[in-house]
């Protein structure tokens, strides 16, 4: 791990963490792109930052889709269902543009891309519910075991994707056939899931920050979201140069805003307020008040005494700390 990730500053000032959360939430903010065909893995290999070809069947990884300048257009949890079928779980509000752009590069490749969001109900599980999810997910679709979509022959099988923990609490996504019973577990409000997603510190790309970051600005290379051993993909030269020539000047931190905040807002240092020093990548209201955020911040501003959101006199941003996924490895 890079040395610039090894020194968290001070702890989160909010009174609570997500460590206590336990339950299952229906997720409305995610959708699914299906890649189907004998060359599905090879096609995605040439488009994403992840080594999709070496991903085992039943495995999942974080990945980014970049423009030629290495800026992230979308982010995914890639799940390989079979040798010729992969599911890309992504932000629902970036999905149409992402699917359109990916389709432009298919050309003669033997792969069909489609929006499969309507085929699945997506759930997020935390705590003990996440640990029990594989068994409960299988039970929940027993009554609909014959359900298959026209394109996917495995839709009756549950998809369980492990996610980085939030403050130590296990998290996972579960994709079930539309209409199947929800996984067993206490009901968890989606607002709590969104907050925990921010607390976990792995930002997904949403419309306000499309093309705002190279993957390292969101720590993707540190949470296995970038493979530096695979072949070319759009923006690969920029991403590699940032990694190996010491050009990374921003990193993502979890923080707390004493007020409202949202993705796309700039962060200012009051000691030099003329230029922003950071950008909020993802935000969610915190149960104890204020807003939990993932902020991509200039490393030179990491120890600034007074950071503000939106303007030099905006709500204060404090409690910068490393995402739990990185702290666990320090």
For residues 234-259, average pLDDT: 90
Confidence of residue 325 (pLDDT cuts 50, 70, 90): low
Quick one: which of 171, 183, 167 has its CA closest to 287? 167
**pLDDT over 90 (residue 196):** yes
Token pair recorded at residue 60: 């999942």
Integer-rounded Cα radius of gyration of the chain: 20
For residue 230, pLDDT beyond 80: yes
Beta bridge partner(s), residue 257: 291, 317
In our burial notation (b when 16+ CB lie closer than 10 A, e otherwise), range 251-270 reads bbbbbbbbeebbbbbbbbbe
Retrieve residue 146's tokens: 């014959």
CB environment 191-216: b (16+ within 10 A), e (fewer): ebbbbbbbbbbbbbbbebbbebbbbb
pTM, whole model, 2 decimals? 0.89
Strand order across the beta sheet in which 72-82 lies: 60-66, 72-82, 85-91, 30-36, 112-115
- Give residue 123's pLDDT: 97
Give the pLDDT of residue 7. Answer: 36
**pLDDT tens digits, one per residue of 11-34:** 444 446 899 999 999 999 999 999
First to last CA, the chain: 8
Percent of the chain with pLDDT over 90: 79
Grade residue 275 by pLDDT with cuts at 50, 70 and 90.
very high
Closest to 131 measured CA to CA, from 76, 89, 168: 168
Query: CB atoms < 10 A from the CB of 148, how many?
Result: 15
How remote is the C-alpha of 194 from its chain's centroid? 11
Over pLDDT 70: what percentage of the chain?
85
pLDDT tens string 66-99: 999 999 999 999 999 999 999 999 999 999 999 9
């Amino acid at each position: 791990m890079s040395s610039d990730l090894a020194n968290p500053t001070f702890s989160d000032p909010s009174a609570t963490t997500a460590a206590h959360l336990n339950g299952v939430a229906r997720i409305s903010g995610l959708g699914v792109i299906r890649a189907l065909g004998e060359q599905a893995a090879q096609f995605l290999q040439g488009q994403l930052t992840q080594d999709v070809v070496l991903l085992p069947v039943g495995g999942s990884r974080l990945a980014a889709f970049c423009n030629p300048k290495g800026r992230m257009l979308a982010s995914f949890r890639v799940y390989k269902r079979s040798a010729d079928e992969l599911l890309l779980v992504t932000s629902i509000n970036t999905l149409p543009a992402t699917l359109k752009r990916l389709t432009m590069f298919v050309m003669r490749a033997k792969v069909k891309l489609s929006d499969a969001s309507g085929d699945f109900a997506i759930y997020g599980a935390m705590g003990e519910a996440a640990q029990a999810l594989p068994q409960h997910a299988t039970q929940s679709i027993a009554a609909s075991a014959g359900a298959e979509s026209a394109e996917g022959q495995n839709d009756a099988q549950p998809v369980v994707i492990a996610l980085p923990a939030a403050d130590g609490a296990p998290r996972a996504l579960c994709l079930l056939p539309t209409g199947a019973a929800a996984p067993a577990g206490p009901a968890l409000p989606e607002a709590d899931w969104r907050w925990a997603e921010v607390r976990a510190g792995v930002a997904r790309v949403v419309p306000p920050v499309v093309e705002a970051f190279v993957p390292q600005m969101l720590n993707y290379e540190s949470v296995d979201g970038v493979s530096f051993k695979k072949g070319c993909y759009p923006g690969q030269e920029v991403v590699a140069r940032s990694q190996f020539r010491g050009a990374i000047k921003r990193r993502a931190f979890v923080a707390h805003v004493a007020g409202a905040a949202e993705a796309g807002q700039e962060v200012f240092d009051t000691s030099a307020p003329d230029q922003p020093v950071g950008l909020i990548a993802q935000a969610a209201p915190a149960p104890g008040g204020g807003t939990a955020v993932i902020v991509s911040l200039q490393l030179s501003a990491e120890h600034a005494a007074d950071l503000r959101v939106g303007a030099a006199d905006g709500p204060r941003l404090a409690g910068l700390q490393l995402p739990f996924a990185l702290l666990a490895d320090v």
